[in-house]
Chain A
Amino acid sequence: MNRETEVLVRLIDASSILVSSLDLGDILPRGMETIKTLLRCEAASIMLLDEANRRLVFEVALGDKSEAVKKITVPLGEGVAGKVALDGEPRIVNDVTHEAFTASVDQRSGFTTKCVLCVPLMMKGRIIGVAEAINPMGKTAFNEADGYLLSLFANQVAMVVEASRMHIQIVARRRMEDELNFARQVQESFLPHEFPSGDIFSFHGFSRAAREVGGDFYDIFPLDERRIGFTIGDVSGKGVPAALFMAKVLGQLRFLAQKHRDEGGPSLVLKELNSSLAERHSENMFVTLIYGVFHSDQRKAVIASAGHPYPFVFRSAKLAWEQKIVTNGLPVGVAPEAEYYDTGLELSGGDMILMVTDGVLEADRDFNEKKILMILTDIYSAYRGQKMIAESLIKDFSRFINKHNPSDDFTMLALSGK
């Protein structure tokens, strides 16, 4: 094989090795070995730039003392490689006796450097590392043709290093997306898909987790033929930890709601929920929530609130919305000894109880409780005497909040009397 053919064959070899996988630990040493053979030199290496620490780190080192060399890092601007990495100019130094840094590296590695050929690894105008060939065999100096060959190889190395880094980023991003999807699924699996209704009442709810997986939830579950438990809440924080904490809260709440359905009222359920969560949790999370029981035979709901925004109530007798100020207890999970209080709410035909999370109250900077009452009054007026039921109110109100703030979480739950 003449030299020209050899160059061509080796370059094609190196090139096929470099594109054969994204595992840099496998392809770079093999590709470099091919080039080392082609350049007929004693040692060869690839160093990548650690931008944070402004140093070159050996990715590949081939030659007698490669293990010792790999432990060394090169500060940007020091030695031949450090200078190439700083200004991006390829260098051939056929007499390194004046290079103090090279001498110190040799002292540590036990290798004797005579000639250095070094080219930058460039990606979109950025220097990401260098490739180096050391001590030509059978001749006393590297020449420009050697420099050209190493540059051809370096260009390809730069591309595969970049591709591999992008691949790693994509995999990491996908893993995070998977986690968020998991959290979203956990959260969605807890939202009821059917809303109970009867001759004199109907429930409806809506929850939107927009930007990240939110910590909002609501739930409606029968306690017996006459009574229905309902809750709406907001876990501090977002993402997987919030979703798991929410799962724990809802699981415990359902259990305690059944356990205490005949005694104590919702306040006792919250008190026990709080003491079990506040004593044994280290997630530094808390939850604001309302838990209530609707007594269908008495047209009455009893609610207890743990630091949650006050509910809005529509009274058909007055044809007006008002905010029901209830006696709040601390959010659940803050202090084990917190107290909670029951509040009774009558639900005549045409009445409505609307509970929201703070995403509704903060949907707009100008929003406050008064503004919300005005919006609800406008929505009611649009019915022009037709019956306002939970489902239609939630649809109209959520559409309005959506329009004002398309990026935050919010949740609402309504109970209407027929």
Chain B
Amino acid sequence: METAMKFEKDLVGEVTVCGISGEINITSVGELRGLFDSLVRSGSKKVVADLAALEYIDSSGLAVMIELHQRLIKSGGVLKLCGLNERINGIFDVTKLNSIFQIRKNRETALAEFNKA
């Protein structure tokens, strides 16, 4: 059974934290893309995507993460990913996408970096 995707947005100081859980697949990716779009449009610059409760991401999901990353860079922002489980970390490793994303252990580490900068 597929688990539905859930998206929770939280504002910690200047940083927008998006908790994404469940599955990012071809059925949920359109919704995620819309959510990211309104995030960028609303002027968010510092974004953390907390994937600790993410169970699955397919290639179209990766494409949406890349798109968010690229749009944030263009607008002078930064995206940090955190909380990747072993399987999802493996996907970022094999695809070498770990070389373009800032991947941090957990939400606290990612937030601390933003606050230091």
Contact = CB atoms under 8 A, between A and B. Distances in A.
Contacts of B26: 212, 237-238
B59 A309 contact: no
A307 B94 contact: yes
Interface string B32-66: 00000000000000000000000000111011101
A401 B103 CA distance: 32
B115 interface: no
A215 interface: yes
Give the size range of A's interface with the partner.
20 to 34
A412 B61 CA distance: 22
A307 B94 CA distance: 6
A285 B60 CA distance: 8
Contacts of A329: 96
Contact of B60 (A237, A307, A335): A237
A17 interface: no
Contact of A284 (B63, B95, B96): B63
B contact patch SS: helix
Contacts, number: 54
A238 B64 CA distance: 13
B59 A236 contact: yes
Interface string B72-101: 000000000000000100000011110110
B108 interface: no
Nearest to A288: B95
Interface residues of B, number: 16
B89 to A, nearest CB: 13
Given A284-B67, A286-B66, A331 B60 contact: no
A334 B97 contact: yes
Contact of A288 (B59, B99, B100): B59
Given A330-B99, A330-B100, A335-B100, A286 B63 contact: yes
Interface of B: 26, 58-60, 62-64, 66-67, 87, 94-97, 99-100
The 6 residue pairs across chains A and B that have the minimum distance between CB atoms? A307-B95, A236-B59, A236-B63, A237-B60, A284-B67, A328-B96
